[in-house]
Amino acid sequence: MILNTLKLLLPALIPSWNFFDVIAPSPRIEFSLLNSDTDTPTKWHAFRPRPAQLSFRTMLKRMLWNPFWNETLFMMSCAERIMKNPTQSHHSETEILNRIINETLKTKSNKPSSPATHLQFRLLTVQRDNEQLVTEINFESRIQALPKKLSTSGDA
């Protein structure tokens, strides 16, 4: 436990400061609501798609209050951890699943027309290949049962 904490602390005490040294493939999170744990996802939704425009006033407000974007950045870090080490990423996978579930609980528009009982997410990566942007599916999560509060509601 102490060794693990030290391992996490060390990069802060001796930082690398290599911000944006290379522009790596960029992760995107998509999720699908399912009707059972054996259901096959057919419709994928982008998680927190970016707004078309953002006013300068909103940008200023976000200087002080920016929880959703900061959470999205954390989820991107989790996605990068998964892509780096897919076999040892249970923590990151759970973090992303829980946060999508919380968002789905809060946002009615994400609820399916039929009562969903399970959820799965996938990670896409976007990168440039010469002049073209290439999108690849990189990871599919485990299928997670939804809490009763959401799975029994069933309204569209």
Partner 1 sequence: MNFDDAIRLTEVLLGFAFALQSIEHFTDCANEKYLFITRFILALALIFGFYTSWVLLLLLVIALAILRRFQGPYNGGADRMSLLILCCLSLSHFLPARHWQEVAFGYLALQLVLSYFISGWVKIINPDWRNGRALCDVFRFSAYPVSKALQHWSKSPRVLLVMSWSVMLFELLFPLSLLSQTSLVIALVIAASFHFANACLFGLNRFFWIWLAAYPSILWFQIRINLVN
CB 104 within 8 A of CB 144: no
Helical H runs in the chain? 2-13, 56-64, 67-84, 90-106, 148-151
Closest listed residue to residue 28, CA positions, set 10, 50, 52: 50
Q: Which residue has the tokens 């999205």?
A: 72
Q: How far is CA 64 from the centre of its chain?
A: 23
Q: Which stretch binds partner 1 (CB under 8 A): 37-45, 46-54, 116-124, 136-144?
A: 46-54
| Helix 67-84 with 90-106: angle, nearest 10 deg | 150
Indicate whether 119 belongs to the interface with partner 1 (CB under 8 A).
no
Binding-site member from 23, 38, 40, 155 for partner 1 (CB under 8 A): 23
Give the shortest CB-50-to-partner 1 separation in angstroms. Answer: 5
Among 38, 40, 42, 133, binds partner 1 (CB under 8 A): 133
The strand pairing partners of 154, in sequence order, are: none
Question: What is the closest distance, in whole angstroms, from the C-beta atom of residue 114 to partner 1 in the complex?
Answer: 28
How many chain residues bind partner 1 (CB under 8 A)? 49
59 binds partner 1 (CB under 8 A): yes
Residue found under tokens 């040892």: 88
Look up residue 14 and give its DSSP letter.
S
In angstroms, what is the minimal distance from the CB of 23 to partner 1? 4
Task: Kindly list the residues in this chain that would bind partner 1 in the complex (CB under 8 A).
Answer: 4-5, 8-9, 11-13, 15-23, 26-28, 50-54, 56, 59-60, 62-67, 69-70, 72-74, 76-77, 81, 91-92, 95, 98, 126-128, 133
